[in-house]
Amino acid sequence: MLSLSFITGTEPDKWFRRFTDRTDHGGLRTVASDDALAQLLSGDVDVALVRLPDARVTDEMHVVRLYNEQPGIALPVDHTLTLLEQVGEKDIVGELIHYQGSSDIPAIREHLGVVAAGVGVVIAPRPVLKLLSGKKIVHREYHNPTYPSTTIALVWRKTDDSEAIQDFVGIAKGRTPQSTRGSQHANAKPAGQPARKSVKTTTKNRAKKLAGRKPGRRRGGPRRSR
């Protein structure tokens, strides 16, 4: 059985279902976590879905980057900036920024409680804000070229590499049942079944067939005169 921890702010349920349906590795044990990498480092799981950058990731680990996250900003529901679809750095000059980062999920959760009370803003990956924001908080896209971007990736120890992990990585990257690692055998024909010959009638071959036909009446009988 493969074990996997996934960081808060990700939604890998469809990958879990596909892995269970398509493979026979004994199932999948999953754990939602505010620090998925910590569980990998402690040996609790085989692979982790993490948020990068993370200084704890070393050369002793395989890293497969899956997608980038959009930065977001959490605002009190009655804040005038909620009228904008995108909030920029200049828009929040003078605002009380409780938190701006990506990796400390407990801190984000704590400071969102203050924003819900109508005070200040929080800047974090937007998927995290989407998950953790309540009814008293509105999240918007945050645009700032200098703000560090975040990436969601699968990480596992090189010494723990396995077919089960590789199969999960393939599913997460969009592999379909028709494009599995064993797909080179998927189109192989059963033993003893003859291959179909492609038939191509050329003009020359057609002429030969017509030349060898015996003269006679046309099919369908004589043509009726009008």
Q: What is the pLDDT of residue 178?
A: 74
- CA distances from residue 77 to 74, 110, 136 in whole angstroms, order as listed: 9, 17, 5
Q: What is the pLDDT of residue 181?
A: 56
**pLDDT at position 207 over 80:** no
Q: What is the pLDDT of residue 212?
A: 56
Per-residue pLDDT band for 193 (boundaries 50, 70, 90) equals very low
Q: What is the pLDDT of residue 133?
A: 96
Give this prediction's pTM: 0.77
Helices 163-172, 13-22: axis angle to 10 degrees equals 130
Q: What is the pLDDT of residue 103?
A: 86
Q: What is the pLDDT of residue 213?
A: 55
Residues 6+ apart with CB under 8 A from 99: 107, 108, 111, 122, 123, 124
Q: Write down the CATH superfamily of domain 2-68+150-178.
A: Periplasmic binding protein-like II (3.40.190.10)
Q: Do residues 157 and 60 make contact, with C-beta atoms less than 8 angstroms apart?
A: yes
Q: What is the CATH number of domain 69-143?
A: 3.40.190.10
For 113-176, give the secondary structure using H, E and C: HHHHCCCCEEEEEHHHHHHHCCCCEEEEEEECCCCCCEEEEEEEEHHHCCHHHHHHHHHHCCCC
What is the location of CATH 3.40.190.10 in the chain? 2-68+150-178, 69-143
Q: Which is more confidently placed, 124 or 187? A: 124
Per-residue pLDDT band for 186 (boundaries 50, 70, 90) equals very low
Per-residue pLDDT band for 12 (boundaries 50, 70, 90) equals very high
Residues 6+ apart with CB under 8 A from 128: 8, 9, 72, 102, 105, 108
The mean pLDDT value for 124-147 works out to 96
Is the sign of the CA dihedral 173, 178, 179, 182 positive or negative?
positive
Q: Token digits for 165?
A: 């992990």
